[in-house]
Each structure stands twice: as structure tokens, then as C-alpha cells.
Amino acid sequence: MIDRLPPHSIEAGQAVLGCCLMEPNTCIPACIERFGSDPTVFYDLRHGEIFKLLTQMYDARDGIDLITLQQKLKDRQLLESVGGITYLLQLSDCVNTTANLSYYADILAEKATLRRLISVATSIVSRTFNHEGDVESAVDRAEAEILAIRRDSSNRDFIAAKPLTKSAIDEIERIHNAQGALTGLATGFADLDRMTWGLQAGETTVISGFPSSGKTSLAMNIAEHVALALKKPVGVFSLEMGALALGIRMICSHSRVNLRAIMAKGARESDFPKMMAAAGQIANSLLFVSQISGLSVYELRARARRLHQEHQIALFVVDYIQLMNAAGNGKDPENRTKEMDAISHGLHDLFKELGCHGLVLSQITDEGKLRDSRAIGQDADGVWRLKPATEQEPNDDALPVKLEIIKQRNGPTGIVDLTFIKPYTRFESAARISDEDVPHDMPRRPYND
């Protein structure tokens, strides 16, 4: 490796600079859009110095030709180090037309990307040999550095007005033809979908509430709808509840079988056909559950990336964020706010990076604020809060609940009325609940705010 030259093309670098000298007002901005103003895109250090100066002159709106460039280099005592006027003349004569600039620039950018990949990989190897401490943080850093190369090399292009407006009109027509189809994943709750247009890709929504307020049930009801009704892959990080308990709850919820009755005295014979049918649907879905408790943000990000790479996950559920830690070595009670900030930032960046939606569950304090960190709400694209009825009777099995949308970046805030059916651990839209949705002899009453 030491004896091998990194990937490069001296000829492509010369051709790019020749085009910039021939038509500076067109070619220099085209190069900046293609690979930025970073001179390290050129392997030859002389070419890098010349390009850096050309971009500075263009930014200052200086006149650019062979004479002005020569003078700028001379003023900075760089002329001889780049090869003198003889080499500048050679650059200006190396191309006859600028028509092929994009091809030269592509070659230059691709070689630079390969060199950056070698540099990052070498750095990872070096750090790994000398690493001490948390392994998960080292793996997460390595993954992030590799993925950053791809993002940086593919996110530079502007979208011109013409293709942008065409895409916008096509999307408007698609929505019109679909008669109000959602732009994101449907949650299964019509009133909620009307306010949010579904769960948007690359965004994070926080479902907040007091302990035992139904956060897990609501998240899993949504996950069930995405996996079974929409047939989209879903990943669930259940940090509190074991996978088996979660599976039993999902089967009872989907089949509308009384979970509490089963746990108390067993299932009825008539329940088994419904539960088996529900189990079959769930078994055939692309639903994946991780039940590791005390998961660090690094471990979660690594597992999520791998699962997304294999199955193109559309929705991730994290239940719940306060059970996570930042470094993988236990929570730090003395600096919990800073740690939660790091976890929140890490999750938000992850879902944006993967282009999927993240439902993150969070507990709230007695004052109604998100526990441990304001960053949880600040980072999120949406924040929902479950507000059960203020007055409850012990035997209330159909409980009116208000889901308050208290933050939404691209939509309205407000209240969505739901009904929580305790025996099924299942939410239903209040507007569509019927007597068939509620077990016989279950008391029902209106919501009293």
C-alpha cells in the first residue's frame, strides 16, 4: 500500500483547469457545483493551488484570464511553485473546447472520492489498532464516516426550476388521482392521518405521555398497520417489554381478544381461531423486534443500519428513549441531560440518513415536559402527547383519550380523539368506534376534559 499511488488523473485535472481558463464565468461555477471549492479534489498540489485561487477570484468578481491569474500567483509568491508561466500556458492550451468539462470533472471527482475512501479506511484501521474504551462508539464512528462519503458525493446537485416544477405537478396530479392519498405512511387513524398526511420519510415523531398512558400500545398499533395493512417493513426496538410479551399483546390486539382475561383465566375456545388467524398475518409480515435492554445509541444505530440495508425499513419504533444510554456503558445520572441530548441528536440524524420514519416514545415529567432533555422535542419533526380522561373509573374498559399534536413542522397542531380499549390494548378512532369494537357489557362514557 505504501508503494502504490492513490487513484488520480493528472490529465483530467489539467483539462478542468484548461476549461476554467478558457471560459471562467461558465466553467468555474460548474466545477464548484460538481465538487465544491475544495482544492484537494485535485491530486496534483499545483492544480489545487491554481483552482483555489481561481475560485477566490471568481467569488471576488475579478477578471480572470492568463495574465490576471499569473499576477495573482506572483503576488502570493506561488507562481514558480506551480510551474511558472510556462505551465500556465500549457494548461490553457491542453483543451480546444469546454464541451467535455462535465466528463473531466466526473473523472476528477470520482478519483477524489476513492482517495477519500482510502484515507477514511486507513484512519479506521489505525484507530482500531490503538482503540481503547467503548467498541460501539468506534463502530458507529466508522459507519458514519463511510456513509458521509456517499452523501457528500451525491448531494451537491441543484435541482433546476423546470424539473422541480414538473415533479411538483406530477405529485399534485398523483395526489388528485388518488383522491387525497397520503404523502407518508398511514397510521391507521383517519383523523390523525388527515392532520399529518401520514408519517413522512426521514422524519422523527415523539409520542409522549405519563407511564402507563398507552404510548407503547399506540406505537404498536401504528406499527401493526404499517406492517400488516401497508405491507411495509417495520423495525421495533423494545427496550422495556420483552419480545414474547410484545408478540402476545400484538396477537390479542389484532384479533381483538381480551388479553387480561387470557392472563387471568386462560383463553376461550372461540378465541383460538381468531388468534391463530392474527398470528398467521403477523408471522407473514416484515416485522422485526429487538428486545435488548439498556441499548446504547451506537448499538441501536448499527442495528438499524444493518436491518435497513437488508429490508429497506419504512418505520422504526423506539420504546422508549429514556431507557437508552449514550456511550454503551450505563447511564450517567450526573450528566443525564447532556447524554439524552446526544441520544436525541443521534436518533434524529439516523432516521434522516436512512430516509425512514422514526416513532420515538418518551416519558414526561409531572409538569408535562419531556423527561431529561429539551432536545428530544426540539430535534423531533413532530411531538404527540397522550392525554387520557381526567376522571377514570376502575372498570372503564373503553377509555376516551385525546392525542394532542403539540408540534408539527409542516402541518397543523390540534387534538385527535381516540378510544383506548383496555382489554385489547388497542386504540381506535373515536369517530368510527362501534359496539362491535367493544366487548359486551363494557362501560362506555364520553370524554370529560
- The answer on 195 and 79 residing in a single domain is no
> 222 is written with which cell numbers?
401504528
Asked if the structure places residue 447 within a domain, the reply is no
Q: What is the DSSP secondary-structure string of 95-133?
A: -S-STTHHHHHHHHHHHHHHHHHHHHHHHHHHHHHH--S
Asked if the structure places residue 257 within a domain, the reply is yes
CA–CA gap between residue 307 and residue 316 (Å, rounded): 10
In this prediction, residues 51-62 reach a mean pLDDT of 83
Cβ pair 181, 173 in contact under 8 A:
no
Asked if the structure places residue 137 within a domain, the reply is no
pLDDT digits (tens, 9 = 90+) for 405-438: 888 887 788 888 888 887 777 888 876 554 444 4
Query: 199 pairs with which residues across the strands?
Result: 185
- The answer on 390 and 301 residing in a single domain is yes
Asked if the structure places residue 169 within a domain, the reply is no
pLDDT band at 38 (very low <50, low <70, confident <90, very high): confident
- The answer on 426 and 361 residing in a single domain is yes
> 321 is written with which cell numbers?
428513549
> What CATH number is given to the structural domain containing 338?
3.40.50.300
- The answer on 300 and 423 residing in a single domain is yes
pLDDT digits (tens, 9 = 90+) for 230-281: 889 999 888 877 777 777 788 887 777 777 677 666 667 777 777 788 888 8
Of 425, 23, 21, 445, the closest CA to residue 263 belongs to 425
CA–CA gap between residue 438 and residue 432 (Å, rounded): 12
Residue 352: the pLDDT is 87
User: Domain ends where: 114, 130, 146?
Assistant: 130
Cβ pair 327, 172 in contact under 8 A:
no
CB atoms inside a 10 Å sphere around CB 79: 18
Q: What SS3 class is residue 342?
A: helix
H or E element, residue 151? helix 135-154
- The answer on 206 and 114 residing in a single domain is no
Cβ pair 383, 205 in contact under 8 A:
yes
CA–CA gap between residue 304 and residue 332 (Å, rounded): 24
- The answer on 367 and 258 residing in a single domain is yes
User: Domain ends where: 84, 113, 130?
Assistant: 130
- The answer on 225 and 125 residing in a single domain is no
DSSP 364: B
Query: 358 pairs with which residues across the strands?
Result: 204, 316
CB atoms inside a 10 Å sphere around CB 307: 18
The answer for residues whose C-beta is within 8 angstroms of residue 435's C-beta and 6 or more apart is none
Q: Checking DSSP bridges between strand 287-290 and strand 315-319, what pairing results, if any?
A: unpaired
- The answer on 116 and 32 residing in a single domain is yes
Domain residue limits at 70: 10-130
Asked if the structure places residue 136 within a domain, the reply is no
Find the range with the poorest average confidence among 38-47, 64-73, 280-289, 389-398.
389-398
- The answer on 214 and 123 residing in a single domain is no
Cβ pair 443, 393 in contact under 8 A:
yes
pLDDT digits (tens, 9 = 90+) for 151-198: 555 444 545 566 656 766 675 566 566 555 677 888 888 888 888 888
Q: Which residue has the cell 411531538?
A: 383
CA–CA gap between residue 124 and residue 118 (Å, rounded): 10
Buried b (16+ CB within 10 A) or exposed e, 37-52: eebebbbbebbbbbbb
| Pure H helices in 36-83 | 45-59, 66-75
pLDDT digits (tens, 9 = 90+) for 69-124: 899 889 889 888 888 999 989 888 888 898 989 889 889 988 988 888 888 888 88
Number of domains in the chain: 2
Q: What SS3 class is residue 321?
A: helix
- Helix-helix angle 135-154:297-311, to 10 degrees: 50
Q: Checking DSSP bridges between strand 414-421 and strand 398-408, what pairing results, if any?
A: antiparallel
The better pLDDT of the pair 344, 439 is held by 344
- The answer on 189 and 119 residing in a single domain is no
> What CATH number is given to the structural domain containing 57?
1.10.860.10
Q: What are the angstrom distances between the C-alpha of 225 and each of 279, 351, 395?
A: 14, 20, 28
pTM greater than 0.75 (yes/no): no
H or E element, residue 358? strand 357-363
Of 206, 242, 223, the closest CA to residue 370 belongs to 206
- The answer on 203 and 124 residing in a single domain is no
- Say whether pLDDT at 201 is over 80: yes
Q: What are the angstrom distances between the C-alpha of 19 and each of 235, 317, 384?
A: 50, 51, 55
User: Domain ends where: 86, 103, 130?
Assistant: 130
CA–CA gap between residue 328 and residue 347 (Å, rounded): 15
SS (H, E, C) 248-272: HHHHHHHHCCCHHHHHHHCCCCCHH
CA–CA gap between residue 141 and residue 145 (Å, rounded): 6
pLDDT digits (tens, 9 = 90+) for 354-387: 888 999 998 877 666 777 667 787 888 888 888 8
> 174 is written with which cell numbers?
398523483
